[in-house]
Amino acid sequence: MAKKSILVTGGSGFLGSHLCERLLDMGHEVLCVDNFFTGQKANILHLVDNPYFEVLRHDVTFPLYIEVDEIYNLACPASPIHYQFDPVQTTKTSVHGAINMLGLAKRIRGKILQASTSEVYGDPEMHPQREDYWGHVNPNGLRACYDEGKRCAETLFFDYHRQHKLRIKVARIFNTYGPRMAMNDGRVVSNFIIQALQGKPITVYGKGEQTRSFCYVDDLVDGLIRLMQDTPDEFTGPMNLGNPGEFTILELAETVIAMTGSKSRIEFKPLPSDDPMQRRPDITLAKSTIGWEPRVNLEIGLRKTIEYFDAQLKAERG
């Protein structure tokens, strides 16, 4: 396999850091670009001594002039707490960031992958969600900065493909979890684990009947790389990447309590605005095109994630 020079935007984030690590393990050169708004230097600290790894502090809403072979565009806050903190900047990161990275890919004549999201489906009326479903999204809601930003980014990718013959890949990522999730990102898996480890009430919104599908990070990264490397140029996606196993939020809370041996009780709170009631990917396309499906079940993945957060909390306590 030929060594490539690969740019990963958002490379110090949860997903980005795992992707950088895997690409280095495969023998590539990796340039990690991040403005460290949500990314953590600690996520990539173990990579900095690798001579084939480079870090650049940069905001993708501004143009970037470099020479690489391929681009993975992961830059964007991905949890509601973070993307709603500065919603205008979130939209700019998705839209301006896509324009700048597509412009770079056009100049270098490189291949580029967009990390899109299951949020493009909104609160879906189709279940499970297939790639040909156009979605049910509130364009004016609190989540629209992320949902519509990602939808617009997809539009830009496909227009660059049609207009400039750019080689693109679009992955729609469903709920992903694992080590290096930010402790303060407000996502359900990290929230529940931290609350359980600290013996605090487990916060469940609504009755906990809404469903989610949880994909372990190693499986997800494998899917991204296969989509980028194992499909012909004429295959663009979008392609769903996620675990089709479906669990209610209440089931997840009870599982985390049992696995941590916590004495936490479950506390119910009102459902947030525009919170989707169901999420489950149809991964038929991924199976047939790149032979991909998740291998890590929820219990194994949660055990590894619990161990990570337990170590983080112990380190904070000194």
- Residue-wise pLDDT for 84-100, tens only, equals 999 999 999 999 999 99
Please check the confidence at residue 28 and state whether its pLDDT lies above 90: yes
CA distance 146 to 128: 21
Q: Does pLDDT of 272 surpass 90?
A: no
- How much of the chain exceeds pLDDT 70, in percent? 100
Query: Which residue of the set 121, 146, 160, 177 is catalytic?
Result: 146
Pick the CATH number of 5-317 from 3.40.50.720, 3.40.50.12280, 3.30.479.30, 3.40.50.300: 3.40.50.720
Nearest Cα to Cα of residue 197 among 40, 307, 107: 307
Q: How far apart are CA 165 and CA 12, in angstroms?
A: 30
Render pLDDT for 232-259 as a digit per residue (tens, 0 to 9). 999 999 999 999 999 999 999 999 999 9
Query: DSSP per residue over 197-214, as a string?
Result: HTTPPEEEETTS--EE--
Give per-residue pLDDT as tens, 134-167.
999 999 999 999 999 999 999 999 999 999 999 9
Can 65 be counted among the known catalytic residues?
no
Q: Which amino acid is at 280?
A: R
Q: Is the pLDDT of residue 105 over 90?
A: yes
> What is the mean pLDDT of the segment spanning 270-293?
91
Task: Judge whether residue 169 has pLDDT over 90.
Answer: yes
The yes-or-no verdict on residue 1 having pLDDT over 90 is no
Instruction: Give pLDDT tens digits for 183-238.
Output: 888 899 999 999 999 999 999 999 999 999 999 999 999 999 999 999 999 999 99
Give residue 2's pLDDT band: very low, low, confident or very high (50, 70, 90).
Answer: confident
Contact present, 21 and 47 (Cβ < 8 Å): yes
Q: So where are the chain's domains?
A: 5-317
Q: Write down the mean pLDDT value for the chain.
A: 96
**What is the band of 181 on the pLDDT scale with cuts at 50, 70, 90?**
very high
Q: Tell me, what's the pLDDT at 5?
A: 98
Residue 171 near residue 116 (C-beta atoms within 8 A): yes
| Residue 195, pLDDT score | 97
pLDDT of res. 118: 95
Question: What confidence category does residue 78 fall into, taking pLDDT thresholds of 50, 70 and 90?
Answer: confident
Query: What is the dihedral sign for C-alpha 297, 300, 303, 308?
Result: negative
Residue with tokens 């990579």: 47
Tell me, what's the pLDDT at 219? Answer: 98
